[in-house]
């Protein structure tokens, strides 16, 4: 490893030196070329400047000579005109005169940038102007005064002096300009020689530099060729690795066209050659409803972000596939923008599996049974909608929680046996008592199935629970009815014997009424007779009830019955029991058997007395009550309608929940042997149900018990008939 690292380090150092060497040579070549260019430019500028200067000097000399020649022609034409007075000579004079002025102006323009020559022109121009004025005056004298006057003017010294001064200025100027022209030509020749020498030196240096650069470029080109070969080999290896990738790899341009794709991608697109796809829009194979989402993903990737998307494609042969794309931006080194590199995986089978799982989940949710799955640590993994409806907890509230702590008060032996059996045999069936979210105890029929993984290891337990609480209640009621039927068969024979016992007692009471006429004896005997008759009626009622024969139903007023109960309690109950009776004046009527309702009330107040051996408070009340649909749904025996509710409340010892569940069972009693038969409440329940009513019980240990009897109120027609009967009885009396 160290050797490899050292080799990599040496290659890196050599590459760095090579790059630095190329940089140095390139900088040197640029410096030399720049220097040669500067020198050549400087020489060229000098040559051009000298040439311009020589040309300007030559033009000045030429123009001065033209001024001199033109001035001479002007004087000659003027002299000829003075002698000959020929008009042609005058024309020649005038033309020469005008040309002289033009030549002076041209000379001034040529020397506009030369201050010294401008000063010289400023001296020459007035003299030439003065000379031309003299010539014009002489022509005027010739035309007006004759030749003699002109001759005299010409021979004057002033005229000759002006001409000499002009000639002297022109001569001096020409001599100076010629000297300057000669110097300029010499300088230009020297600059030309220098430029030639410099050019040859630069050419030699450039040739050497070109040779050196050619050698370097040749070596560099060879290195580039070797690098290109290595890159091609690396590209081929990379292409082979990409084509061997079992997932689709795509390179997408910023405009959405495909740049590269591997062999697996071609197979997914159902084409044989990449030429069919390269350069084409990538979204052509995407199902239309996913194109907008893919366009947003592509835009985000080209902005330098990462992203994931699931979409569906259609191959060139029509095969539909679900794809999962994991996309990353890839920087384009040429312009710094990003292109789209996508790794796509075919998730069609996964999607189908998820769809199947969803369908199975819907089927499980449609089921009315509670279906739940827990792991071997009793943590809930699955909870269907049936379980939500049965127990009240939503799925999010229970997943991950312990099912034993959630649905059970404690771990019963039955629950332990169920767990052991399902672990040993793989399944279990049975009944369990469970809790709902509101704390209500329900009974379920439960089926457990053990689920194992592919290696046969225990994975989880599937439970299917069906609520059978109402079914169990109905079974209990059926069992109670069967017991009552059995008791009725037994009571049939007992009633006959009791009737035989009561008959002599009734006859004896009637004889005593005749022998004991005093009022006190008559009152006692009358009470005894009433009770013997009521006992006989009670035996008759028990016999009729045991045989299933209903007694005679009439319109019953509850107020007299409650008043009679108050009288019996006051006469027979211990003084330690305080009785309170609340009888409303507008209490509805009920249709039923007075003796049976009286029997029910007697059973309830006697039980209340026995529950308060040390005294207490006994309250009997009644009220009108209308039961709606909601209340009817709460109680299985209730129906919508009007009821008269009779409430018997004591402050006795109360009952536990276990005792409350069995109080209506025949022969079930908590009293001592010989003090109770266990038939009172079962008979009372049968009577109330026979009247179409129902009973509610509320009790707490140590705080007393409350029985509420619900008897259907009589209809308006029944009440009207009873009123007519009462009126007829009153009228007869």
* Interval 666-676: pLDDT, tens: 667 777 655 66
At residue 645, the pLDDT reads: 94
At residue 9, the pLDDT reads: 53
282 vs 146, higher pLDDT: 282
Report long-range pairs for 148-153 (Cβ below 8 Å, ≥24 apart): 150/82
Most confident of 262-276, 313-327, 353-367, 496-510: 313-327
Instruction: Answer whether residue 390 shows pLDDT above 80.
Output: yes
Instruction: Answer whether residue 660 shows pLDDT above 50.
Output: yes
At residue 309, the pLDDT reads: 92
Instruction: Answer whether residue 556 shows pLDDT above 60.
Output: yes
Contact of 32 with 209, CB cutoff 8 Å: yes
Q: 24-33, 134-143, 650-659: lowest mean pLDDT where?
A: 24-33
Question: What's the whole-number mean pLDDT along residues 394-415?
Answer: 88
717 vs 395, higher pLDDT: 395
683 vs 580, higher pLDDT: 580
Contact of 692 with 713, CB cutoff 8 Å: no
pLDDT confidence of 369, banded at 50, 70, 90? confident
Most confident of 211-225, 237-251, 301-315, 367-381: 301-315
Per-residue model confidence as pLDDT tens digits over 620-638:
999 999 988 777 666 667 7
Report long-range pairs for 170-174 (Cβ below 8 Å, ≥24 apart): 170/64, 170/67, 170/68, 170/124, 173/64, 173/120, 173/124, 174/61, 174/64, 174/65, 174/68
Instruction: Answer whether residue 194 shows pLDDT above 70.
Output: yes
At residue 43, the pLDDT reads: 72
pLDDT confidence of 717, banded at 50, 70, 90? very low
**Can you name the residues that pair with 554 across neighbouring β-strands?**
592
Tokens 């329940």 belong to 685
Dist CA 710 CA 616 (whole Å): 25
95 vs 398, higher pLDDT: 398
Question: What's the whole-number mean pLDDT along residues 644-655?
Answer: 93
Dist CA 192 CA 187 (whole Å): 9
At residue 731, the pLDDT reads: 44
Question: What's the whole-number mean pLDDT along residues 422-439?
Answer: 90
3-class DSSP assignment, residue 679: coil
Dist CA 459 CA 453 (whole Å): 6
Q: 133-137, 297-301, 320-324, 541-545: lowest mean pLDDT where?
A: 541-545
At residue 2, the pLDDT reads: 44
Contact of 446 with 460, CB cutoff 8 Å: no
Dist CA 403 CA 418 (whole Å): 14
Contacts of 568 (CB under 8 A, 6+ apart): 602, 605
Question: What's the whole-number mean pLDDT along residues 443-462?
Answer: 87
643 vs 105, higher pLDDT: 643
573 vs 217, higher pLDDT: 573
Mark out the alpha helices in 85-114 (DSSP H runs): 87-110
C-alpha angle 555-558-560 in degrees, rounded to nearest 5 = 105
Per-residue model confidence as pLDDT tens digits over 685-714:
888 888 889 999 999 998 999 999 999 998
90 vs 464, higher pLDDT: 464
Most confident of 64-78, 578-592, 704-718: 578-592
Question: Side-chain half-sphere of 232: how many Cα atoms within 13 Å?
Answer: 6
- The two three-digit tokens of residue 548, written as one number: 């299933």
Dist CA 330 CA 194 (whole Å): 59
At residue 64, the pLDDT reads: 80
pLDDT confidence of 5, banded at 50, 70, 90? very low
Instruction: Determine the number of helices (DSSP H) and then strands (DSSP E) in the chain.
Output: 20, 17
236 vs 374, higher pLDDT: 374
Quote the mean pLDDT of the chain: 80
């Amino acid at each position: 490893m160290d050797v490899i690292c050292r080799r990599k380090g040496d290659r890196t150092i050599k590459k760095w030196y090579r790059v630095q060497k190329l940089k140095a040579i390139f900088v040197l070549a640029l410096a030399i070329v720049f220097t040669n260019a500067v020198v050549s430019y400087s020489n060229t500028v000098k040559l051009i400047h000298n040439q311009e200067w020589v040309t300007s000097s030559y033009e000045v000399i030429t123009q001065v000579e033209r001024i001199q020649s033109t001035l001479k022609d002007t004087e000659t034409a003027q002299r000829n005109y003075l002698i000959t007075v020929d008009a042609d000579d005058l024309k020649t004079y005038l033309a020469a005169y005008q040309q002289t002025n033009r030549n002076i102006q041209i000379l001034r323009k040529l020397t506009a940038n030369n201050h010294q020559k401008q000063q010289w022109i400023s001296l020459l121009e007035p003299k030439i102007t003065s000379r031309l004025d003299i010539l014009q005056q002489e022509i005027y004298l010739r035309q007006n005064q004759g030749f003699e006057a002109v001759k005299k003017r010409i021979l004057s010294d002033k005229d000759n002096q002006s001409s000499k001064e002009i000639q002297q200025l022109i001569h001096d100027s020409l001599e100076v300009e010629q000297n300057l022209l000669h110097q300029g030509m010499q300088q230009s020749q020297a600059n030309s020689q220098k430029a030639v020498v410099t050019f040859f030196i630069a050419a030699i240096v450039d040739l050497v530099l070109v040779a050196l650069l050619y050698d370097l470029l040749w070596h560099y080109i060879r290195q580039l060729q070797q690098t290109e070969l290595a890159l091609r080999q690396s590209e081929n290896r990379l292409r082979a690795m990409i084509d061997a990738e079992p997932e689709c790899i795509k390179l997408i341009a910023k405009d959405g066209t495909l740049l590269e794709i591997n062999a697996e991608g071609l197979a997914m697109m159902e084409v044989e050659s990449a030429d069919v796809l390269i350069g084409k829009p990538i979204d052509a194979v995407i199902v239309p409803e996913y194109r907008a989402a893919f366009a947003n993903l592509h835009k985000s990737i080209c902005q330098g972000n990462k992203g994931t998307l699931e979409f569906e494609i259609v191959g060139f042969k029509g095969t539909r596939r679900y794809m999962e794309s994991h996309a990353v931006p890839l920087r384009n080194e040429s312009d710094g923008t990003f292109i789209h590199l996508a790794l796509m995986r075919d998730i069609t089978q996964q999607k189908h599996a998820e769809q199947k799982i969803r369908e199975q989940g819907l089927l499980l949710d449609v089921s009315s049974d509670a279906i739940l799955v827990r792991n071997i640590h009793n943590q809930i993994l699955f909870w269907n909608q049936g379980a939500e409806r049965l127990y009240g907890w939503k799925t999010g509230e229970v997943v991950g929680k312990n099912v034993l702590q959630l649905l059970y008060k404690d771990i019963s032996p039955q629950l332990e046996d169920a767990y052991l059996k399902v672990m040993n045999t793989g399944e279990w069936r049975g009944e369990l008592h469970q809790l709902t979210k509101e704390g209500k105890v329900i009974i379920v029929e439960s089926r457990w199935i053990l689920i194992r993984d592919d290696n046969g290891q225990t994975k989880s337990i599937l439970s299917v629970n069906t609520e059978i609480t109402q079914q169990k209640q109905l079974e209990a009621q059926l069992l109670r009815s069967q017991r009552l039927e059995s008791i009725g068969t037994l009571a049939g024979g007992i009633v006959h014997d009791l009737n035989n016992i009561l008959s002599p007692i009734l006859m004896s009471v009637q004889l005593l009424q005749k022998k004991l006429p005093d009022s006190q004896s008559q009152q006692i005997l009358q009470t005894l007779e009433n009770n013997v008759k009521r006992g006989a009626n009670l035996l008759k009622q028990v016999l009729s009830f045991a045989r299933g024969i209903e007694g005679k139903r009439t319109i019953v007023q509850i107020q007299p019955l409650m008043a009679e109960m108050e009288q019996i309690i006051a006469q027979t109950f211990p003084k330690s029991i305080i009785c309170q009776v609340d009888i409303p004046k507008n209490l509805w009527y009920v249709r039923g058997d007075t003796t049976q309702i009286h029997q029910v009330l007697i059973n309830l107040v006697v039980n209340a007395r026995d529950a308060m051996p040390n005294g207490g408070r006994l309250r009997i009340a009644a009220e009108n009550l209308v039961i709606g649909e909601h209340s009817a749904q709460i109680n299985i025996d209730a129906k919508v309608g009007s009821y008269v509710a009779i409430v018997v409340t004591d402050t006795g010892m109360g009952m536990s929940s276990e005792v409350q569940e069995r109080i209506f069972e025949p022969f079930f009693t908590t009293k001592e042997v010989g003090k109770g038969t266990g038939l009172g409440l079962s008979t009372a329940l049968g009577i109330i149900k026979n009247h179409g009513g129902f009973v509610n019980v509320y009790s707490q240990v140590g705080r007393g018990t409350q029985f509420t009897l619900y008897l259907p109120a009589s209809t308006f027609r029944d009440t009207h008939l009873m009123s007519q009967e009462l009126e007829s009885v009153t009228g007869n009396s």
